[in-house]
């Protein structure tokens, strides 16, 4: 059975830039940081999030979601709230607390016009 997800991401041409930071940052500032990954579908974004959280599993004391999922957004047959949020065009963020520091995981939705990697290049003759 395939999951019926919102199609906002497809209608807006969204993709997601994935980052891990050790400080609180804004989406606009993260656009100038090195990417950890680019997710082309909500499922890709959820997979990156799962893999990244798994990599911190041994040292994590707490994982806290910092982006609430709006009511009614998740279809009943959808097994992953992060996938539903991404499909609806929302960013997804989490904080992993370890004994030594904290890590902020971000999946920022971008349209091609917002993405610095999609900006038209100036050509000189």
State the DSSP string of 5-28: ---HHHHTT-EEEEEEESS---HH
Q: What is the mean pLDDT of residues 10-15?
A: 92
94 within a domain of the structure (yes/no)? yes
118 within a domain of the structure (yes/no)? no
**In this structure, is the dihedral angle defined by the CA atoms of residues 14, 80, 85 and 109, taken in order, positive or negative?**
negative
Q: What is the mean pLDDT of residues 102-121?
A: 82
73 within a domain of the structure (yes/no)? yes
Question: How does pLDDT run across 54-89, given as a tens digit for each residue?
Answer: 898 888 888 887 766 655 555 554 556 778 888 888
Say how many domains are in the chain.
1
1 within a domain of the structure (yes/no)? no
The token pair at 34 is 């090195």
16 within a domain of the structure (yes/no)? yes
pTM beyond 0.95: the answer is no
116 within a domain of the structure (yes/no)? no
36 within a domain of the structure (yes/no)? yes
Q: What is the mean pLDDT of residues 49-54?
A: 90
- pLDDT band at 123, cuts 50/70/90? very low
Residue 69 structural domain: 8-110
């Amino acid at each position: 059975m395939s999951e019926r997800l919102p199609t906002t991401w497809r209608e807006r041409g969204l993709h997601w830039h994935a980052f891990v930071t050790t400080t609180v940052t804004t989406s606009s500032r993260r656009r100038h940081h090195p990417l950890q990954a680019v997710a082309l579908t909500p499922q890709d974004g959820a997979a990156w999030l799962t893999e990244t959280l798994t990599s911190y599993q041994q040292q994590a004391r707490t994982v806290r979601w910092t982006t609430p999922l709006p009511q009614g957004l998740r279809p009943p047959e959808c097994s992953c709230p992060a996938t539903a949020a991404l499909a609806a065009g929302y960013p997804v963020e989490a904080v992993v607390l370890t004994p030594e520091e904290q890590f902020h995981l971000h999946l920022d939705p971008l349209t091609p016009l917002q993405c610095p990697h999609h900006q038209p290049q100036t050509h000189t003759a």
